[in-house]
Amino acid sequence: MIENIYIEPNQSNFKQICERPKKDPKGLSDVISDIFQNVKENGDQALIEFTERFDRIKLDVLEVSEIEIQEAIDQVDQELKNAISVAKKNIFTFHEAQVTAPLKVETMQGVQCMQKSVGIEKVGIYIPGGTAPLFSTVLMLAIPATIAGCKEIILCTPPNENGKVHPAILFTAHLCGIEKIYKVGGAQAIAAMTLGTETIASVYKVFGPGNQYVTAAKQYAQNFGVALDSPAGPSELLVYADETSKANYIAADLLSQAEHGTDSQVLLVANNAKIIDAVNEELIAQIAVLPRKEIALGALENSKSIVLQDECKAFEFINLYGPEHLIIASEEYSKYTDKIINAGSVFLGNYCPESAGDYASGTNHTLPTDGWAKSYSGVNVDSFCRKITFQEITKKGIKNIGDSIIKMAEGEALMAHANAVKIRLEKYKNVES
Amino acid sequence: MIENIYIEPNQSNFKQICERPKKDPKGLSDVISDIFQNVKENGDQALIEFTERFDRIKLDVLEVSEIEIQEAIDQVDQELKNAISVAKKNIFTFHEAQVTAPLKVETMQGVQCMQKSVGIEKVGIYIPGGTAPLFSTVLMLAIPATIAGCKEIILCTPPNENGKVHPAILFTAHLCGIEKIYKVGGAQAIAAMTLGTETIASVYKVFGPGNQYVTAAKQYAQNFGVALDSPAGPSELLVYADETSKANYIAADLLSQAEHGTDSQVLLVANNAKIIDAVNEELIAQIAVLPRKEIALGALENSKSIVLQDECKAFEFINLYGPEHLIIASEEYSKYTDKIINAGSVFLGNYCPESAGDYASGTNHTLPTDGWAKSYSGVNVDSFCRKITFQEITKKGIKNIGDSIIKMAEGEALMAHANAVKIRLEKYKNVES
């Protein structure tokens, strides 16, 4: 159950209640810079050695072979294949709708401004290993990457102790058209995608979740000109409840978040204390039979329930927290929707569990955590694009706009900026064209 | 003139030629963390002391008063006001067209996915002081911020030795509806917008150019959960020239970039050596009479001319460089447009100087430098928004999608994720609802 309960906390305490549990990242940066240095100097050999050390398997070949992919396709059971295909279709449909047409606006006669989305040429997807084979994250990253038109999409994921990648990950990657899959994990995978090795080509942006080493490595990659999807932290869920909520559904949703890791955080904000008590009862009952019970219990220790009867105060709190996932667990969810300013992805109504968005509804599950929802979007097609602007100015156009440019350039004391217009307007006397 | 000339360099050398001049950032991080610490502990008092030390003026009040704004409006001459208004209209028109309508897609019956752009609640704009009063940057940041619907927009800029802000900056800020303007510059301004002080409210994202201290402070702000527009480096321009280019126009454009600072870089890529010689002659003539001659000469030392007769090779080089500004200085620019993959903003044709986009065409001039155009867009309306996703699932909807979610959750060994669906489908036997 959630033991930290705040009844009508004062607004001046909101910021403190919103604070996430923090880990001490000291010493991490030295580890990461050593790994990058080693990969830079020794390329594939460094990857093979790190894999032997961290994943306990000595590989001869880093790239997943076609035979391995075919074996994986054969191994995944048909029901799971069907489920993944349903999810793929939904995710594709929603993300394809996000594509924006090129924009063309004539701001003045003869002055055309354009904006065009262009896929990032080279992107890298990281899929963690560990206790759960996150094939769903393959869908969430590979689908928008292909829609965006990224030309090179590579995927890194650590091998298991037998030197294999989980078949569902390989099946899903293949289904999404990813051809280059490498058996390398951790910070060394990020280093490889950043710096390139004999086998793995460097990319311009890396995507995907991971432990604190992966997260720190993604941050460090920026020093080499490689972008990252978003600053990542532990996953989190905030549920807003009212009189129309169902305690058993809420408890199930909170546990679905809590089972991710002991560092996950779940928050329950309600307009009455009754629902909080009811959810706690349900939590006790439901957690008892959960395979990942210990993890969920650990996460619940970080968790909080907050009673705020006043709707405005409640959403002030929610927007200050800026949850990664926000469930509006109410039959009357539409009356709250407009109050939501800061959240990664929002789940509306009593029949909309977070796991729908985690897997199959169509929205992306790679979302901003740790309050970054205040300034970052979740991954979407734009995350794999740049919007390049173009301007096309005719002789007539520069006549129309030229004097304004000259005046402003002179106002900023940048005479060469003014000259670049003057010379085209033949107002430039120093040099004859 | 540009003394570094590469004639038909081998593709294997492209990467090296693309390298930007690097500065050693050592020692900077200690300075920045000290400034942040001081602002955190001492608030406004720290800002006042830093301003006295760095800007040589002791201020009593940090906020620009209404009287000062009114005085500024009176001081700006009418022609400049008109020019700024023309620019504002064009920038507004082009950026307003970038607004995306909310998206609603039914991916399966009863499963609605939505995406909505929501303005970042609190944003900070930094406008540097120094030799040029960059009122144009006020337009470029304040206009998309207001279009995006940001609720709190604050502006920081350092005062001059008389404790005043340049009137054109105040006029422009006022014209754009910015009400909170503070006289504070440098890393301490970024620290104030990150941490908040008695006078200056903290924000969620900071925008704007600045020297290496400001840039480092923006990076450092991320440790406190504050986002930044993009990693910034010195400004740069690449011009592509062919037989239809005009050497005097190109020289004027290169100089308009070179006058920004000695760390600016200009590149000229051409399909023939003749135009490079002609541009060099023009550079010598035009630079002689330039007020910022010394700065421009310094920048030209970092600069390079490259002859690549083969169009494909030339654009391979250009895309590897990923210029902030790219001028296609050709009458036949349309035949090159599709080859452009990596650039911040592109200027098409012989009558389209970079200064058009710097000031008034309508596109944004806050653009990715240092190769970041490969993964970042320039500032646009999206830079001031988050795209929040929503899903709305009916009882029918969860029946349609439920089994796929359960199968996938089980495939990832996340049973609580499956339970959150099962309980809604009444397939969950452990706890009765």
Provide, rounded to the nearest whole percent, the portion of chain A with pLDDT above 90: 90
Q: Would the pLDDT of A223 be above 60?
A: yes
User: By the CB < 8 Å criterion, does B241 face chain A?
Assistant: no
**Torsions phi, psi of A272, nearest 5?**
-155, 155
Is 0.90 surpassed by the pTM of this model? yes
Q: Which residue among A346, A389, A408 sits closest to B363, beta carbon to beta carbon?
A: A389
A111 pLDDT more than 80: yes
For chain A, say whether B90 makes contact (Cβ under 8 Å): yes
pLDDT, residue B408, reads: 98
Q: Are B401 and B409 in contact (CB under 8 A)?
A: no
ipTM over 0.90: yes
Looking up tokens 């940048």, which residue turns up? A414
**Token pair belonging to B64:** 């620009």
Q: What is the pLDDT of residues A303-361, one digit of tens each?
A: 999 999 999 999 999 999 999 999 999 999 999 999 999 999 999 999 999 999 999 99
Tokens 């044709």 belong to which residue?
A: B349
Q: For B132, phi and psi rounded to 5 degrees?
A: -120, 125
Which among B345, B256, B82, B267 is positioned nearest to A423, based on CA atoms?
B256
Nearest to B408 among A84, A289, A377 (CB): A84
- Contacts of B166 by beta carbon, 8 Å cutoff, 6+ apart: B129, B133, B135, B160
Cα–Cα dist A292/A283, whole Å: 14
Question: Which CATH number is A233-377 given?
Answer: 3.40.50.1980
How many residue contacts between A and B have a Cβ separation below 8 Å? 437
Catalytic residue among A260, A324, A354, A365: A324
How far is CA B336 from each of CA A119, A398, B346, rounded to the nearest angstrom?
Answer: 18, 21, 11
Q: What is the pLDDT of residue B25?
A: 63
Q: How confident is the model at residue A431 (pLDDT cuts 50, 70, 90)?
A: very low
A226-265 pLDDT per residue, tens: 999 988 788 999 999 999 999 999 999 999 999 998 989 9
Active site residue B324: yes
For B97-164, where are the alpha helices, taking DSSP H only?
135-148
Give the separation between CA B355 and CA A416, rounded to whole angstroms: 9
Which residue blocks in B112-221 are alpha helix, DSSP H?
135-148, 167-175, 186-195, 212-221
The pLDDT of residue B391:
98
Fold of the domain built from segment(s) A28-107+119-229: Rossmann fold (3.40.50)
> With 0-12 CB in 10 A as exposed, 13-18 as middle and 19+ as buried, what is B338?
exposed
The answer, yes or no, to whether residue A432 has pLDDT greater than 70, is no
Q: Which two tokens stand for residue B309?
A: 């007769």
Residues 6 or more apart in contact with residue B45 via CB below 8 angstroms: none
User: Token pair of A386, please?
Assistant: 């740049």
A43: left (phi over 0), alpha (psi -120 to 50) or beta: left
Query: In Å, how far is B286's CA from the nearest CA of chain A?
Result: 7
Annotation marks residue B121 as catalytic: no
* Gap between the Cα atoms of B324 and B343, Å rounded: 6
Interface test with B, best of A351, A369, A430 (most B CBs within 10 A): A351
Helix, strand or coil, per DSSP, at residue B230 = coil
Decide if A55 contacts A159 (C-beta within 8 A): yes
Q: Mind listing the pLDDT tens digit for each residue in A46-92?
A: 999 999 999 999 999 999 999 999 999 999 999 999 999 999 999 99
CB contact under 8 A, B225 and A370: yes
Residue in B222, B343, B401 nearest the CB of A356: B401
Quote the minimal CA–CA distance from B47 to chain A in Å.
Answer: 24
- Cβ–Cβ below 8 Å for B404 and A87: yes
Fold match between domain A28-107+119-229 and domain A233-377: yes
Contact assignment for B395 to A351 by CB distance below 8 Å: yes
Task: Give me the residues of chain B with pLDDT under 70, please.
Answer: 23-26, 131, 428-433
Mean local confidence (pLDDT), A164-192:
97
Residue tagged active-site, from B325, B331, B332, B412: B325
Of A251, A300, A370, A116, the closest CA to residue B344 belongs to: A116
The ranges assigned to domains in chain B are 28-107+119-229, 233-377, 394-428
Query: pLDDT tens for residues B34-88?
Result: 999 999 999 999 999 999 999 999 999 999 999 999 999 999 999 999 999 999 9
Window B:363-422, CB contacts with A under 8 Å = 363-364, 368, 370-378, 380, 382, 385-395, 397-398, 401, 403-405, 407-409, 411-421
- Residues of A in Cβ contact (< 8 Å) with B227: 372, 375-376
pLDDT at A389: 98
Interface check A340 vs B, CB under 8 A: yes
Tell me, what's the pLDDT at A22? 73
